[in-house]
Amino acid sequence: MSAGNDTPRRRTPKWLRRPGRLLSNNAAFAAAAAWLGVGYLKLVYRTNRWILEPADALERVMPMTPVIGAVWHGQHIMLPAIPFGLKASAMISRNLDGEITARIVEAFGTRPIRASGGRDKARSIEKGGMTGFIEMLQAIERGESVLQTADVPKGAARVVGAGIIALAKRSGRPIIPMAVATSRRRVVKRAWDRTTFNLPFGHAAMVVGEPLTVAKDADAEALEDARKRLQTELNRITKRAYDLTGRPE
């Protein structure tokens, strides 16, 4: 499994962008799409045979809360439907499907934070990255755990960005790597993150990795070391989750 994705990202065709924006800004369409999405995720969760590794993962995590849950982009679709038993907030990007995604996670009891990181400072500010960072910190201060994709949207897939490491440093809370996989799935190979849609009636696995903490006085070298360790652990548990389903990635 590659840690990154060197395939050039294909842009959405121009003829699809305008109707896509119109639909995404339509409240009725967003509500209907979210309703279907919630129903579908419930179906997938209930009809797959699940393995949790380690079996006592929740018992291990609870004493550490609030925590920062980390998952790879494109592998996160099932997360809202899995009953963690944790009060959480999740960063939802401001892209075309953001409103639908936000409604879906809300339906499962997760509070959405509408922002996302960028590959440079200008893009991050434009997309609400700084506001999102502050809201994530505030959520942690309220005792809420937070969920975040570790790699930067539309950057290099499965390469941990600096944002989640900075959040761990500022908050003092541990990062909990997570991976979810199903044996039956459809992969969008042309997507930058190889978005994976989980399908019902198969085998599924969720693997929780080793916690990672970042010292509040960590220097640039220590931050880079933490970034690399998180990347290695996410790759390890993602591979393990797929292997547990009986159908490796």
Give pLDDT tens digits for 11-66. Answer: 555 554 555 555 556 778 888 989 999 999 999 999 999 999 999 999 999 999 99
Q: Which parts of 78-193 fold into alpha helices (H)? A: 98-107, 121-126, 129-141, 162-171
Q: Is residue 1 part of a domain?
A: no
Q: Is residue 117 part of a domain?
A: yes
pLDDT at 94: 65
Q: What is the domain range of residue 138?
A: 14-244
pTM: 0.85
Residues in the chain: 249
pLDDT at 21: 59
pLDDT at 30: 82
d(CA 46, CA 81): 10
Q: Is residue 6 part of a domain?
A: no
Q: Is residue 3 part of a domain?
A: no
Higher local confidence (pLDDT), 10 or 165: 165
Q: Is residue 78 part of a domain?
A: yes
Q: How many domains does the chain have?
A: 1
**pLDDT, tens only, 187-225:** 998 898 999 999 999 999 999 999 999 999 999 999 999
Residue 77 has pLDDT above 50, yes or no: yes
Q: Is residue 31 part of a domain?
A: yes
Q: What percent of the chain has pLDDT over 90?
A: 65
Higher local confidence (pLDDT), 9 or 142: 142
Average pLDDT over residues 228-236: 98
d(CA 155, CA 68): 21
115: left (phi over 0), alpha (psi -120 to 50) or beta: beta
Q: Is residue 87 part of a domain?
A: yes
Q: Is residue 177 part of a domain?
A: yes
